[in-house]
Chain A
Amino acid sequence: MSDSIVAVLCDQQCSSRGPLQAANLTKRLAKSSTVGKLIILDKACQDPEKKLKNVAGQKILFGGCPYLEESGFYSLAAEKLGLGPGEMLVTDVKSSILDLYDSPEAIEEKLVGRLESLGRLLADSTAVKDQPVKLKRNVLIFGSGYSGLKAALELSGEKLSVDVVETEDPPLAPGCLTEGLGSPGLIEELTERVRAGEHVAVFPHRQMGPIRNVEKGFTVSFGGGEPREYGTVIFAPERREAPAEEIGAWNLSQLYKRIQEHQPIKGRIVFVLDRRSEMPPEVIQDILTAARVIKERSHAEVWILLKQIRVALPGLQELYDLTREMGVIFVKYQNLRLHNEFGDFDIAGEDPQTGASFRISNPDRVIIPGAGGLSASALKAAETLGLRLLGGQYTQPYSLWRLANESNHPGVLVCGSARGNMDGDGVAADAASMVQALKARMNREGITPVEHIASVDADKCAYCLTCVRVCPYHAMGKNVEERVAQPITTACQGCGICAAECPAEAITLRNLSQDSVLAAMQAL
């Protein structure tokens, strides 16, 4: 049995400069008893096909970098070798290991162990020849801001059934003012068009139940009704701005609202930017647009205090020049002192270039941007969908694939300002590229299901969430209400790390008994 396993390690000019010591690994695998033969394919290898020719007809364990999968390497190899779905097992060496452990020795240890146990499992298990699954043609869009609406419009006419979860009273997110002023009724118009769509259903947010992972997709019930099934969830919530940190100051949303409603803004207006964190250029563009509008509409005196000039958007430099010509005063500051007495401000600071100090006492209005973030329900949904949160509450789709809005969960996509600051054009482009990725995936041959998917025994689960921590694919979520770990079946790669690490022994891999997993692990 053991000599029928052939391990193949591949490195296709990939940035494997990490602690993965390929040479040592090779040595260890060559010594391993489960692996009968070891083949290394790297950039020095001139003719991989020739190398693989000799092993045709045997069971093969592939390990390599994630990009190999996208480039179709594995399917090509399987085709060339005449292997069926159960006869080839792919493990993703790089991404799965690097996050978890620090020392190279530990990584190597785990990696060898994992490869060996996988090899053993492969040898023991009978091939499961499932039909490839296609993604269901029902799409749920979470969020009805600019990005959500754009995504819905891009998807309409694609013969898909689209459900949109409508956030109540969608605010114009900080970052989209320029767009909104260009065409005032933009959001309303888009909403109308979405509502008029033939295959689009709109649900209010408060009726929405929790998103649940089921096999090959997600279900959500609305208003306590029958759960609706989805193959794809598009995560497109609007970013919300926290209130300004100082009493009496406005945040950007408050200002934008007044600008849109044509309320008068007069007197001496001071923007205090970059206080806690520095603004990205998309937000600066909106702030400058707001300053321009204020100057156009009234004789207000506008001060913009900032730490650095940011111009990394086309046309932004011109906007600086224009607003400066209109009389907006830009001040670069350091050592800012902001004295606030129930809304009466006294601002003093120094100019870093000249060292001269400036002081603005008793301005009519102070505008301090609040921190950006996601709403509580969006955060909860992100957690269920297995999306990682970065600083500033941007979601990281953690893509093994090519496009940044695809995540490694075949049914989860992220669109719009939830994954990075974008201006209006950026959101439109993001929605278009996301739809392309989705369509391409739906029309692809289908995704071969992983034979072994983790499943959690709810009675045994102690809710320690070790599995959530160790899963290299972010495929383990948690069900907060029932206090059990919940695997995201579409993302699970069947690696078995969670089963090995679970202290309560509550996780089993489907189609495999836990005993055989543990036996394989312990045999190491």
Chain B
Amino acid sequence: MASRKVCVIGAGISGISVANDLSQAGIDVLLVDKNPYPGGQSVFYGCKATDECVRCGVCLVREAVATLKNQSTTQCHFSSRPVGYHAAGGSMELDIQTTANLIDWRSCVECGRCLEACPEQAIQRVPGWKYFVDEKCTACGKCVDACPVGAISLDRSTETSTMQVDGVVLAAGYEPFDPAINRKWGFGTNPRVVTGSQMENLFFQEKYLPVEAQSVAFVQCVGSRNVMEGEKHCSRVCCAYALRMAGRLKEEYPQLNIDFYYMDIQRFGKNFDEFWKKMQGKINLIASNPISVKTDEQGLPVVRYESLPELACREQSYDVVVLSNGITPAAESESLADLFNLDLDAAGFIRPTGNGSSAAGNRVFTAGTCKRPMRIDDCVEDAATVSRRVMKNLGVQP
């Protein structure tokens, strides 16, 4: 049988898992991502295990990236995006626009000399993968001289290539909600107010807190379930990730006073109840409607909230306030949906396809958080499901 070719758009945890599954079954995979590295959002998350694993799933991402690195059959196109799609009869054509990467990951030997040479610290390492250059780069060229294998060039030319594929998997991922769009959260003006995604990155660097603190507040449902901010859906992940973070912080700093403001705890998953009971003794759980986060004279953030049992407005100042921001559809969702002739749901997520229900037919599949909010382990399972559907569609045995 002629080899089949599938294009996976998005190299987050879902995209990589699909690519790994498909290439294991002998299908040629094109992996396309807008970033110059694989792993997407979650590769820079930090492990939240305390004295036991709390199943945050971050290690699954590292593992998937490592598998991708050790595989030869997946063709990776980073810093790329699909710009054109033509389906006629049985054939599908994709136009992929690629910007040249500063570091060619294929020839990089991971010696780390560019890291030392860069005066701007613009070169970062992706866990389980190699290096990439972020936007701090000033194109000074020092890394080019330092690289022993000539893997770095300052060429940023863009080219578009056309590819024949037998199927497309959309795994475009999500965008964390940006609380800066509403001034009431005080985000962006006070460095002591951070989002959950920023906390994840701090956990990744094993720094845990942006500044030294005695008291930390977690404010839930920022950018979720809020009609005023236009995000009506529940993000499903925030209750669990914020609780895990709180647990990890408590482990790291036992003296830390942690308050946890929640509206309604969204319990799903079989372990949540046990975890919730365990956390009850460790942190203060406050049922409330958060109103705003202000800044007082000393520059400390003040959480203003409506305490639900007493129905009274209260204020409390903290050293650090963490806004548990939700999952919103990726900025590219709309353009991708246009390109592949798919529908968006009310919240802006791509409606799941792959069951023959959509106008785009059986050949365009969706995986991961581009269709609804998911946890990391949900994404891995969803990817397995999608790759199975792709294989069935192409008539390939797994």
Closest 6 CB pairs of A and B: A433-B384, A312-B266, A308-B264, A15-B49, A394-B270, A436-B388
Q: Which of A354, A391, A439 is close to B274, meaning CB atoms less than 8 Å apart?
A: A391
**Which of B21, B49, B232, B267 lies at the interface centre, i.e. has the most chain A CB atoms within 10 A of its CB?**
B267
**Nearest Cβ on chain A to B156's Cβ, whole angstroms:** 30
Q: Do the beta carbons of B308 and A352 come within 8 Å of each other?
A: yes
B345 within 8 A of A: yes
Q: Do the beta carbons of A312 and B385 come within 8 Å of each other?
A: no
Contacts of A67 in B (CB 8 A): 59, 63
A375-423 interface (Cβ within 8 A of B): 390-392, 394, 396, 402-405, 419-421
B127 within 8 A of A: yes
Given contacts A310-B264, A403-B380, list 9 more A-B pairs with CB under 8 A.
A15-B49, A280-B267, A282-B268, A310-B266, A310-B268, A314-B233, A334-B309, A405-B381, A440-B21
A3-18 interface (Cβ within 8 A of B): 12-15, 17-18
Contacts of B66 in A (CB 8 A): 12, 71
Per-position 1/0 for B42-54, Cβ under 8 A of A = 0000010111110
The complex places the Cα of A75 from the Cα of B3 at a distance, in Å, of 27
The complex places the Cα of A70 from the Cα of B24 at a distance, in Å, of 14
Per-position 1/0 for A262-278, Cβ under 8 A of B = 00000000000000011
Q: Do the beta carbons of B59 and A404 come within 8 Å of each other?
A: no
The complex places the Cα of A18 from the Cα of B128 at a distance, in Å, of 22
Contacts of A98 in B (CB 8 A): 52
Interface of B: prevailing SS:
loop
The complex places the Cα of A71 from the Cα of B60 at a distance, in Å, of 11
The complex places the Cα of A384 from the Cα of B372 at a distance, in Å, of 37
Q: Do the beta carbons of A436 and B59 come within 8 Å of each other?
A: no
Beyond A317-B233, A430-B381, whether A420 also contacts B51 by CB under 8 A is no
Q: Do the beta carbons of A70 and B63 come within 8 Å of each other?
A: yes
A513 within 8 A of B: no
B345-398 interface (Cβ within 8 A of A): 345-347, 349, 372, 377, 380-382, 384-385, 387-389, 391, 397-398
List chain B positions with a Cβ less than 8 A from chain A: 21, 24-25, 47, 49-53, 59-60, 62-63, 66-67, 70, 110, 127-128, 225, 232-234, 236, 264-271, 273-274, 287, 308-309, 311, 345-347, 349, 372, 377, 380-382, 384-385, 387-389, 391, 397-398
Q: Which of A353, A394, A396, A437 is close to B384, meaning CB atoms less than 8 Å apart?
A: A437
List chain A positions with a Cβ less than 8 A from chain B: 12-15, 17-19, 46, 67, 70-72, 98, 277-278, 280-282, 308-314, 316-318, 334, 352-355, 390-392, 394, 396, 402-405, 419-421, 429-430, 432-433, 435-437, 439-440, 443
**Nearest Cβ on chain A to B150's Cβ, whole angstroms:** 20
Q: Do the beta carbons of B270 and A390 come within 8 Å of each other?
A: yes
**Nearest Cβ on chain A to B262's Cβ, whole angstroms:** 9
The complex places the Cα of A314 from the Cα of B351 at a distance, in Å, of 11
**Nearest Cβ on chain B to A459's Cβ, whole angstroms:** 39
Q: Do the beta carbons of B273 and A71 come within 8 Å of each other?
A: no
Contacts of A316 in B (CB 8 A): 234
**Nearest Cβ on chain B to A420's Cβ, whole angstroms:** 4
**Which of B233, B269, B372 lies at the interface centre, i.e. has the most chain A CB atoms within 10 A of its CB?**
B233
Q: Do the beta carbons of A404 and B387 come within 8 Å of each other?
A: no
Contacts of A13 in B (CB 8 A): 59, 62, 127-128
